Structure 1
Amino acid sequence: MDIETFARRIPKIELHLHLEGAVRPATFVELARKNHVDIPPHGEIAELYRYDNLPDFLKIYDLVSRSIRDADDFHRVTYEMLESCADSGARYVEFFFSAHAHQAHGVAYPTMLTGILAAMRDFETDRGVPSRLIPAHSRELGLQRGLEFLDMVLEHRSDEIIGIGLDYNEAPFPPAPFQPLFERAADAGLRRTAHAGESGPAENVRDSLAVLGVDRIDHGYHIVDDAELVAACVEQGTFFTCCPSTTTGTTIWRDLSAPDHAIKQMIDAGLNVTINSDDPPMFRTDLANEFVLVARDMKLSPEQLKTCALTSIDASWLDDSVKRDWRAAWTAEIDAMIADLDTAPEALSA
């Protein structure tokens, strides 16, 4: 077995995935047609998936969101998303969804949940892969809308809803003003995470941890600009959900093979990094391919890939007893895979 096969087969957890960003292109076109949503003129659908920065990406993300209207639509896109994760080796999935992007077009929150939760339960029955849901607040909407969002989440809470996130255009909207939202979420027993350090500065990572009290950081790349913060996060064991492919379109780090790529720097510094897919069809990737990319372009060793996989267990919001069991089982499984690796230099260099 070569390193690419190993990277594809290694057991995985997906911790940073947006439902709307995971809609298959063909499904997007079909739902847009069904729900009378105009999409820009194009030849191949891939022509729509071209962007050079986070705001341009979010325009397409919102267009995809607009095409999902009824409970059946939400069931379809959720089930297909989980199917893609499982086919990439995911054993468990925690995913975001953007309620506001659908409410803006008249879709009621209970309608969204009806389809999403049914698909999650159906998929666990069909394929044995459990998943959990993280409604995310768009920081662009401000604190008051965020507090209303939290009220809605708590009113319709179910066992599958385990936390909240903070996402959308980061740079102009720092995390600190959302402290009351995250304090109330913590009081209600919800886990918390926030997108920080993707297009915003290292300070956003610091404030997400110190002010918002998040359990983990989504992206976090600009932490490499602050050596003191890196050292503190290494000491504290902070978790980062990193997404290699999207860095090439939404950050200043466009070359995954560059030795100073932020994710490579983070791993080399000893930070707790997990590998995730973010918005896979929109960047022509999947979770298995993200592991291949860091193996091939960043030259991560089998042991480093193992560490990323096991770190995803620790970073997840699974019960501690499940984490212990999975860590032991995965360690044995991955060690057996490593023993079966072709150790010829060309095999390990992908």
Structure 2
Amino acid sequence: MSLASFVQQLPKVELHLHLEGAVSASTFADLAALNSVALPKPTAELYSYDNLPDFLKIYDLVCASIKSAADFSRVTFEALERCAVAGARYVELFFSPHAHLAHGVSYSTMLGGVLDGMRRAKEKYGIVCKLIPAHSRELGPERGEQFLDMVLAERMPDVIGIGLDYNEAPFPPAPYVKMYERARSEGLNVTAHAGESGPAENVADSIDLLGVRRIDHGYHVVDDPALIERCKEAGIVFTCCPSTTLATTVWRDLAAPGHAIRRMIEAGLNVTIHSDDPPMFATTLDREYALVMDNFALSPEALKKIALAGLEAAWLDNETKQAWMSEWSAEIDGLLKTELLPN
């Protein structure tokens, strides 16, 4: 078996995937034409950017192009289909309600379409998906309370938590303490993007003030050795996305000894690997695993550890998690017993 085949067949979870960032360029162009959204570039050049704000401009255009329940069902199904092909068995999917509300799309329409796409993907591929609506930190805490009101008013069993995302550096986590306290009191899981373009302090505040135990990205934790030790002791999970770092962070070379994800793994932090916005960064979940294996000189056994750490970090009930942990571990051990040949 080739290493590429091993990586693809490795059972995985996807904990850091944005629905709107998982739309292929061709589907984006189709929906833009259908819904009268003007595009700034030819289809082949749409997904080209050099920093987080430029990326978010395109991301917002994708959001503007998804209007009907059928559109939401289509992009959800296609995103989960690609996850399944890449070896994902379980997905926790972020989506950005505010970006669709701004274009007159109701939350009910979004949710209905996404749930339909999830149902169709599960029927065809067996892939299980849960939802994490995320608030844009750029909109402020008052809008955040309104966002949470909306999520709670139409809460479905498949909506399992909330996130905090968009342009991080100018918008620290502290203003969202009340929103996060209320979300936790209502039984929602919580996570937050931190330490991607913002400082290590944002990671610390997300943990200390927002009460999260899972940090999305988190790369600037490497700037604070004391925080690294705190995160290790607390078992904080970092959902890292290698390809994204090449456009949205100061770490632009995965092969560099100082790349943040490499340093996080070497420091013993609880790092899991995910794809973030895969078509927008020309990647897939299995490719992200291959990138860290190749660039960080990780063994297949190390990839097993990362895959199972992702499952352990998932917001699943304990009975399901333990059953899958046993099944996946045995399945991966079976793959490891085969001769693994270079690609």
**For this structure pair, what is the TM-score category when the shorter chain's length is used for normalisation?**
over 0.9
Task: Give 1:31's aligned residue.
Answer: 31
Task: Give 1:62's aligned residue.
Answer: 60
Task: Give 1:19's aligned residue.
Answer: 19
- Aligned pair in 2 of structure 1 residues 260, 209: CA closer, same or farther (>3 Å)? same
Structure 1 residue 49, shift from structure 2 partner: 1.1
User: In structure 2, how many angstroms separate the alpha carbons of the residues matched to 1:137 and 1:199?
Assistant: 17
Task: Give 2:112's aligned residue.
Answer: 114
Structure 1 residue 4, shift from structure 2 partner: 2.7
User: In structure 2, how many angstroms separate the alpha carbons of the residues matched to 1:20 and 1:242?
Assistant: 18
Matched to 2:225, the amino acid is A
User: In structure 2, how many angstroms separate the alpha carbons of the residues matched to 1:148 and 1:41?
Assistant: 35
User: In structure 1, how many angstroms separate the alpha carbons of the residues matched to 2:187 and 2:119?
Assistant: 22
Matched, 1:155 2:153: yes
Show CA shifts across 1:279-308 (max 9, x none): 000000011111111111221111110111
Counterpart secondary structure, 2:191: strand
State the identity %: 61
Consecutive unaligned residues in structure 1, runs of 5 or more? none
Structure 1 residue 5, shift from structure 2 partner: 2.4
Structure 1 residue 120, shift from structure 2 partner: 1.0
User: In structure 2, how many angstroms separate the alpha carbons of the residues matched to 1:342 and 1:134?
Assistant: 36
User: In structure 1, how many angstroms separate the alpha carbons of the residues matched to 2:339 and 2:44?
Assistant: 36
User: In structure 2, how many angstroms separate the alpha carbons of the residues matched to 1:9 and 1:126?
Assistant: 18
Matched to 2:262, the amino acid is K
Structure 1 residue 328, shift from structure 2 partner: 1.1
Task: Give 1:318's aligned residue.
Answer: 316
Task: Give 1:256's aligned residue.
Answer: 254
Task: Give 1:246's aligned residue.
Answer: 244
User: In structure 2, how many angstroms separate the alpha carbons of the residues matched to 1:77 and 1:54?
Assistant: 22
Counterpart secondary structure, 1:321: helix
Show CA shifts across 1:305-341 (max 9, x none): 0111000111100111111111111111111211213
**Aligned residues of 1:206 and 1:229 also touching (Cα < 8 A):** yes
How many corresponding residue pairs?
343
User: In structure 1, how many angstroms separate the alpha carbons of the residues matched to 2:333 and 2:256?
Assistant: 29
User: In structure 2, how many angstroms separate the alpha carbons of the residues matched to 1:234 and 1:46?
Assistant: 42
Structure 1 residue 46, shift from structure 2 partner: 3.0
Matched, 1:50 2:35: no
User: In structure 2, how many angstroms separate the alpha carbons of the residues matched to 1:81 and 1:322?
Assistant: 23
Q: Which moved more, 1:247-256 or 1:45-54?
A: 45-54
**Aligned residues of 1:7 and 1:295 also touching (Cα < 8 A):** no
Counterpart secondary structure, 2:66: coil
Structure 1 residue 342, shift from structure 2 partner: 3.1
Task: Give 2:337's aligned residue.
Answer: 339
Show CA shifts across 1:46-85 (max 9, x none): 3121111100000000001100001000000001111010
Counterpart secondary structure, 2:92: strand
User: In structure 2, how many angstroms separate the alpha carbons of the residues matched to 1:30 and 1:125?
Assistant: 25
Show CA shifts across 1:152-191 (max 9, x none): 0000000000000000000000001100000000010000
The one of 131, 138, 160 aligned to 1:133: 131
Show CA shifts across 1:82-134 (max 9, x none): 10100100000001000000111111111111101111122212221110000
TM-score (norm 2): 0.98
Matched, 1:5 2:20: no
TM-score (norm 1): 0.96
Counterpart secondary structure, 1:278: coil
Consecutive unaligned residues in structure 2, runs of 5 or more? none
Task: Give 1:309's aligned residue.
Answer: 307
Task: Give 1:295's aligned residue.
Answer: 293
Counterpart secondary structure, 1:228: helix
User: In structure 2, how many angstroms separate the alpha carbons of the residues matched to 1:139 and 1:192?
Assistant: 14
Counterpart secondary structure, 1:16: strand
**Aligned residues of 1:4 and 1:295 also touching (Cα < 8 A):** no
User: In structure 1, how many angstroms separate the alpha carbons of the residues matched to 2:20 and 2:215?
Assistant: 20
Counterpart secondary structure, 2:130: strand
User: In structure 2, how many angstroms separate the alpha carbons of the residues matched to 1:73 and 1:127?
Assistant: 20
User: In structure 2, how many angstroms separate the alpha carbons of the residues matched to 1:56 and 1:300?
Assistant: 32
Task: Give 1:196's aligned residue.
Answer: 194
For residues 65-214 of structure 1, what are the structure 2 equivalents within 5 Å? 65-214=63-212
Task: Give 1:237's aligned residue.
Answer: 235
Counterpart secondary structure, 1:307: helix
**Aligned residues of 1:4 and 1:296 also touching (Cα < 8 A):** no
**Aligned residues of 1:15 and 1:312 also touching (Cα < 8 A):** yes
User: In structure 1, how many angstroms separate the alpha carbons of the residues matched to 2:328 and 2:339?
Assistant: 16
Task: Give 2:269's aligned residue.
Answer: 271
Aligned-residue Cα RMSD (Å) equals: 1.0
